[in-house]
């Protein structure tokens, strides 16, 4: 197994699941999202918003700020996730484009699955870099930080 760029653990609570205790399919996206936010925070970006020089900016005013939006999400479900599982969620791979990042993320049901490479679900998430302007939200070149 290739080492991930970033990984973090998350516990599955009852509110993530259906009546049978299985994580609702859309909540896989929530775990991927939480991991991406934690990864960006580890890089010094305290949120998705940053200044043109690539420095993390506050989220109190979004006017003129550069930020990421999810432009595409492709998910593959291989194994169910259950209430009380302690998941390992990763940012496995990153591909940089001029105005976007394409991230491959994995969810593992346990640390043992993580060590063995037994993936429960995979997400390929495209984050578009955009800027809020008077003309609306427009694509924006990635800062050099990435």
Q: What is the pLDDT of residues 2-11, one digit of tens each?
A: 799 999 999 9
Q: Which two tokens stand for residue 43?
A: 């890089």
- Segment 97-119 mean pLDDT: 96
pLDDT band at 48 (very low <50, low <70, confident <90, very high): low
- Segment 81-107 mean pLDDT: 97
pLDDT band at 65 (very low <50, low <70, confident <90, very high): confident
Q: Are 86 and 11 in contact (CB under 8 A)?
A: yes
- Segment 72-88 mean pLDDT: 97
pLDDT band at 45 (very low <50, low <70, confident <90, very high): confident
Residue 13: what pLDDT?
96
Residues 6 or more apart whose Cβ sits within 8 Å of residue 83: 12, 13, 14, 16, 17, 21, 23
Strand partners, 64: none
- Segment 18-39 mean pLDDT: 95
pTM score, whole prediction = 0.88
Strand pairing category for 100-108 and 121-133 = antiparallel
Q: Are 92 and 107 in contact (CB under 8 A)?
A: no
Residue with the bigger pLDDT between 1 and 120: it is: 120
Residue 43: what pLDDT?
85
- Segment 65-69 mean pLDDT: 86
Residue 119: what pLDDT?
98
Q: What is the pLDDT of residues 126-143, one digit of tens each?
A: 999 998 888 888 999 987
Q: Which two tokens stand for residue 1?
A: 């197994």
């Amino acid at each position: 197994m290739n080492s991930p760029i970033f990984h973090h653990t998350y516990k599955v609570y009852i509110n993530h699941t259906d009546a049978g205790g299985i994580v609702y399919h859309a909540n896989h996206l929530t775990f991927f999202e939480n991991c991406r936010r934690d990864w960006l925070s580890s890089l010094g970006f305290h949120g998705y918003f940053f200044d043109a020089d690539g420095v993390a900016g506050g989220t109190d005013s979004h006017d003129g700020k550069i930020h990421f939006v999810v432009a595409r999400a492709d998910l593959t479900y291989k194994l169910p996730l259950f209430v009380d599982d302690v998941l390992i969620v990763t940012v496995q791979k990153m591909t940089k484009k001029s105005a976007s990042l394409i991230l491959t993320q994995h969810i593992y049901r346990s640390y043992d699955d993580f060590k063995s490479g037994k993936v429960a679900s995979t997400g390929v998430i495209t984050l578009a870099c955009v800027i809020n302007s008077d003309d609306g939200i427009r694509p924006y070149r990635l800062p050099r930080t990435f």
